[in-house]
Amino acid sequence: KAKPKSKPRARRPSKRAAPTQQTLINRGTVGVRLGATFAWASDDHRSEATEADYETELGGVAGVVYDKALNQFLHYRVGAQYHGRGFATEAGGKTTTATLRYIEVPLEVGVHFQASRTVTPYINIGAYLGALIDKEVRVGGDKKKELEDRFSTFDYGMNVSVGAWFPMTRTLASAVALTYSHGFADIVDHDADGVNVHDEDQTFNRAFYIVGQVHF
């Protein structure tokens, strides 16, 4: 008698390793970011007569970044983003608000470590260069064109960020980050009319911003 044919064994589905952020940034990832910024100004005043207390203004951040691993623990980031900065202050019973909109290019290096397969924290530090694309100054609600002309076209400074990546698939990850941005450029010409005796005063951008990101 012919032996009955044995039934083929069912193949077990192969268990593929869960994705890690190291796998993703080894090949480089593009991230789309969106968030909010809490911006203000800091002054270096030579005269007590021109000292001002600045209040925080709420703005937005949107852009793209590219992350690439240098090794198991180091990476770099370059990007381009819209950043809505500004500040508010009171003088003479009136509130002055400045809304400043920049296109910024951040360039950062960072340290990351894999806390688990689903969480990779990181710390970044680097520089940014910004170009002012729009501005608006209001005093007591009235627009002041002559004050808008005092703002510099370019800004530059330092960024320090803390954040975490959350890999979801082998080609997709989400992330959150909190960044402190410290401007080094004097953004206001205090002697634009040639008669200001306080022309040595300096005004700098400051901001905290938080963003959510999707990397692919």
What token pair was written down for 101? 């909109």
Is residue 155, in this structure, part of any structural domain at all?
A: yes
Q: Is residue 5 part of a domain?
A: no
Strand partners, 112: 122
Domain presence at residue 198: yes
Residue 122 within any structural domain of the chain? yes
Task: Pull the structure tokens for residue 123.
Answer: 């710390």
Tokens 């953004």 found at: 187
Q: Is residue 144 part of a domain?
A: yes
**CATH (domain of 171):** 2.40.160.20
Please give the residue range of the domain that contains residue 198: 21-215
Burial of 210 from C-beta contacts in 10 A (0-12 / 13-18 / 19+): middle
> Is 89 inside a domain boundary?
yes
Tens digits of pLDDT across the chain (216 residues): 555 555 656 555 545 555 678 888 898 999 999 999 999 999 876 555 556 678 899 999 999 999 999 999 999 999 999 999 999 988 777 888 999 999 999 999 999 998 888 999 999 999 999 999 999 999 888 888 778 888 999 999 999 999 999 999 989 999 999 999 999 999 998 765 554 545 567 899 999 999 999 999
Output the pTM of the full model: 0.84
- CA 160/CA 213 separation, integer angstroms: 17
Identify whether 2 is part of a domain.
no
Number of structural domains in the chain: 1
